[in-house]
Each structure stands twice: as structure tokens, then as C-alpha cells.
Amino acid sequence: MENSITKIFEGQEIKVTTDKGITLINLACTARVCGLTTVAKSRNEVVRWKGKGSVFDKLEKLRDANVSIDERYIEEISSTLDEIENTDDRNTIYMSNWLSKRLALECHSEKAGKYKTFLVTLDEDFQSGKLFGQGNDSLELINQQVGLVNKQVGILMKKSKEHDNRLGELENNMTIDYAQQEELNRYGRTRVVQALGGKEAPAYKMLHNKAFSRFWNDYKEYLKVNSYKNTAVKDIDKGYDFINKWEPNEDLSLMIRGANAQTRIIDKF
């Protein structure tokens, strides 16, 4: 690595470096900006490295898609996938500016689109010698952060003039974000699969649509929402508690036991 600097994009740090004359962007930073994150059991937001809709998934689909991509980038994607699988610290993975922009495009969000434009500007600054031309990257970063702090202070001062009850109302009505929605959905579906006896169970094959429908209806009734996506932030623990305790009602339980038991009887003959 020849040069390293930390830039700021909409309040988030983007680690940039160069190697053999090309700009490299930290993959974990890109993933966070593009929303490729999930909420861990600790309730902290972390990068979603593996699984559906993850960094690995999007890069793998990009590599395997029937699109015209230079062979060197195909090789870079394969190398990056290998790093995700085997490196001890995924936060040290960097990708070329081009591949970082391509990954942002795959995320199809307004913020990811702005981030792509930000990366284009970085590349232009690098080509013109401006990116590392200030001579004091730390000072630049501090200035950027001070500017952000001042902006936040101004916002807080303005909000302090508003009525306290309005602020309390906003907090009470705030709903979970996309990453929390995805994690809640995955957690709920896992609970239903368990209740059916697993994905290989006959009951899953016969009744999974009915079971999922029953589960989400129960969830919406319990949380008093019209969709799990509208779960209030203050109620997210209540939602997880419901999922942990959920059991099929009597009619559905009988259908599940019947489906699984009937197949076991047939297997004996």
C-alpha cells in the first residue's frame, strides 16, 4: 500500500489507499454505506458478509452474471470472495474503485447511487494528484469531522427549541430500519420452519404457506401493526419475545402433527 487516507461520506468514514497506481476502497466501509448490514444479537449493526443479500452474495452474482466485465475484475471478485471466506479480519479487505462502484450499483438505493458519484470524484482527485496532495490527511479528516460536529450541534440547538412532547412522539413512532426488518423477518421465518419440523418435514412442504400466514397474522395482532416492517423501535424486543414464544394454534398444530405422522406411517409399509 502506497498512500492511505480516510475520507468522509455523509458522516461515515471511507478508508482509501493506493497500490501500484490504482485507488482501493475498504470493502467494509462500502458495505456499511450501501446498507449491506444486519443487526447482531448484541443489537449492534454489523456488515452482512454471508447469506442472501450479503456482500458475498452480491459479488458472487456479479461474477456469475452474463454481463461484459473485464477479466481482471472477474479475477478480483474471485480473489475478494476468497478473502471473505478465509481472512481472519474482513475489515482489512480492499477492492478497486471500479469494483466498489459496481457493488454500489447492485444495491439499488439512493444513498448507494450518491456513493458511486462520491467514488467517481475520488478517482478523479487521485488521477489529478489532489487526493493525497494536501500533505496532511489527518488534518483534513479532523477538519471534516469538526464540520460534521458543528453541523450536528446546530441541529441539536434547533431541536432543543421544539416542544419536548413532540420529540417524545417522534421517538415513540419511529419504526425499525431496513436491516432490522430483514433480521426480524429471518428470525420469524426460522421459528415457523422449526414449528413445522424443519424444511425436510412433510408438514413444511404441505403447510408452509398456511403456517407463515398464520404466524405473521399473529405477530401483527400482538404488536398492533399492519406489517412487521412497521414495528416500532421501542417494541423490537417485544417482537423478538413474541417470536421466541410463538406456537401454532390448535388447528394448525393438529395439521402439522397429522402431516408428519401420516408420512411416518407410510414409510413403515
In a domain, 163, yes or no: no
Measured CA to CA, the distance from residue 51 to residue 183 in angstroms comes to 12
Are 186 and 69 members of one domain? no
| pLDDT at site 262 | 76
In a domain, residue 161? The reply is no
Is the confidence at residue 68, as pLDDT, over 60?
A: yes
- Domain range for 117 is 4-151
How far is 47 from 37, CA to CA, in rounded Å?
4
Does the residue 162 lie in any domain?
no
If pLDDT is split at 50, 70 and 90, which confidence band does 171 have?
low
Q: Select the more confidently predicted residue: 246 or 264.
A: 246
Q: How confident is the model at residue 94 (pLDDT cuts 50, 70, 90)?
A: very high
Cβ atoms of residues 228 and 178 within 8 Å: no
Question: Is residue 143, in this structure, part of any structural domain at all?
Answer: yes
Closest CA to 80 of 95, 58, 91: 95
Which of residues 89, 121, 151 is at a domain's end? 151
Whether residue 160 lies inside any domain: the answer is no
Specify the pLDDT at position 1: 56
- pLDDT above 60 (res 218): yes
pLDDT tens digits for range 121-168: 888 887 777 776 644 445 555 666 666 677 777 777 766 666 566 666
Q: Classify residue 74: in a domain, yes or no.
A: yes
The radius of gyration of the chain's CA atoms, rounded to the nearest angstrom, is 24
DSSP states along 125-161:
HHHHT-TTTTS-HHHHHHHHHHHHHHHHHHHHHHHHT
Average pLDDT of the chain, as a whole number? 85
Residue 48, pLDDT > 80, answer yes
136 and 36 both lie in a single domain: yes
Compare 158 and 218 and report the one with higher pLDDT.
218
| Residues 68 and 187 placed together within one structural domain of the fold | no
The CA distance from 181 to 228, in Å, is 7
Would you state the pLDDT for residue 264? 55
Predicted local confidence at residue 69, as pLDDT: 79
Confidence of residue 225 (pLDDT cuts 50, 70, 90): very high
| pLDDT(266) > 70 | no
- Residue 202 near residue 260, CB atoms below 8 Å: yes
Q: Is residue 233 part of a domain?
A: yes
In a domain, 191, yes or no: yes
What's the whole-number mean pLDDT along residues 12-41?
90
Q: Long-range contact list for 71-74, CB < 8 A, 24+ apart?
A: 73/98, 73/99, 73/102
**Total domains present in the chain:** 2
